[in-house]
Amino acid sequence: MSERRISEAPIDPRLPYSKGLMARAYMGTGIPPDRAWELARLVETELGRGPDTEPAPQDEVYDVAARVLAEHEDEQAVRRLRRFQRLQELDRPLIVLVGGATGTGKSTITTEVAHRLSITRVTSTDFVRQTMRAFFSEDFMPTLHYSSFEAGPAVLGRHGDPRDAHLRGFLDQTRNVLVGVRAVMERALTEGHSMALEGVHLVPGMVPGALDGAIVSQCLIAISDEERHASHFYVRDLDSEGVRPVAKYIDSLAEIREIQEYLVEQAEKAGVPVIENGDRERAVDEVLRLVLDTFEPAAVSA
């Protein structure tokens, strides 16, 4: 197994102390950005080092950062920082899997979580599906050529049973996409790089929840309130300047919500945590804490 590359570490021992890097490390434990920056300034004062001084040893920086947390936060925050430190030093890749139905905000949350954990490789199952579409024709794998919530017509042509067609189409698509997902995970393991992967196709119980040689943390993002869920599509429409038109998603909201209901049920059966995205910052914090909690038993057995 190759070692974690130093460029991925949020505190780089080759460089003078950086408040920005220290704040990112604090944010990796679930501390809000503004508070993380305040604490990083306190660490700089405690270290007595500025941008023109020699680099401080990484262990020293973390020791001082832990003392600052103990004084200004609580012991739970200190424990999370120590877990975060050990996570950066681990020679195994971390794979963060974030599932969820269309429009639940999983892409935004995953990107932010990856940033705070200094994970530079972030991808989606939709990207995997798009890649596979280039190799497999619609005649060979028809469901690949539809959105996850619009794949029903592809299975109707084969089975002719309209009952739950969109859900059957989604599951058929998922089984195909997960072949590519497993290949992506195996590549991360081979290269020894951490990665974050998000997508509707990360169905609990169907995607590997463990991988020898890696630490895998999996969760599901959900929005229980239908109106709040619908509002996300209006935001997506604005952000994409109409590339992702809101009408398409609102018209299919019932199917999207049914897929979410199925995902939540599977998560409960598989013991995968479901995180409510009522507030983005809180959801990011919960995912970060989940990752650190997942890491702890793996570190003990390493």
Over the stretch 259-272, which tens digit does the pLDDT of each residue have? 999 999 999 999 99
Side chain identity at 113, as an amino acid letter? V
Model confidence over 155-200: pLDDT tens digits? 765 555 555 788 889 999 999 999 999 999 999 999 888 999 999 9
Predicted confidence at residue 104, as pLDDT, reads: 96
pLDDT at residue 5 in the model:
44
What pLDDT score was predicted for residue 159?
Answer: 55
Reply yes or no on whether the pLDDT at 234 is more than 90.
no
* 80 to 27, 113, 174, 300: CA distances (angstroms): 11, 15, 34, 15
Phi/psi-derived region of residue 48, left when phi > 0, alpha when psi is between -120 and 50, beta in every other case: left
Residue 40 — very low, low, confident or very high, per pLDDT cuts 50/70/90? very high
Count of beta carbons in the 10 Å neighbourhood of residue 109: 25
Q: Please state, in angstroms and rounded to a whole number, the distance separating the CA atoms of residues 49 and 13.
A: 13
What's the average model confidence in pLDDT over 228-232? 92
Give the Cβ contact number of residue 217 at 10 Å.
23
Helix ranges restricted to H, 48-122: 58-72, 75-89, 106-116
* Higher per-residue pLDDT: 74 or 5: 74
Least confident of 62-66, 76-80, 240-244: 240-244
Let me know: does 198 contact 95? Beta carbons within 8 Å.
Answer: no
Per-residue confidence band for 3, with pLDDT thresholds at 50, 70 and 90: very low
Q: What does pTM read for this prediction?
A: 0.84
Quote the CA–CA distance of 185 and 236 in Å, as a whole number.
28
Task: Give per-residue pLDDT as tens, 91-140.
Answer: 789 999 999 999 999 999 999 999 988 898 999 999 999 999 888 877 78
> In the prediction, which pLDDT does 300 show?
45
**Per-residue pLDDT, 302:** 47
Percentage, residues of the chain above pLDDT 70 = 84
Copy the structure tokens of residue 219. Answer: 């969760």
Range from 3-12, 72-81, 86-95 carrying the lowest mean pLDDT: 3-12
At 90 the pLDDT is 77
pLDDT in tens, 143-154: 888 888 877 777
By DSSP bridging, strand 215-222 and strand 94-100 are parallel
Residues 101 and 256 sit within 8 Å (Cβ to Cβ): yes
Q: Which pLDDT band holds residue 1 (cuts at 50, 70, 90)?
A: very low
What pLDDT is attached to residue 226? 94
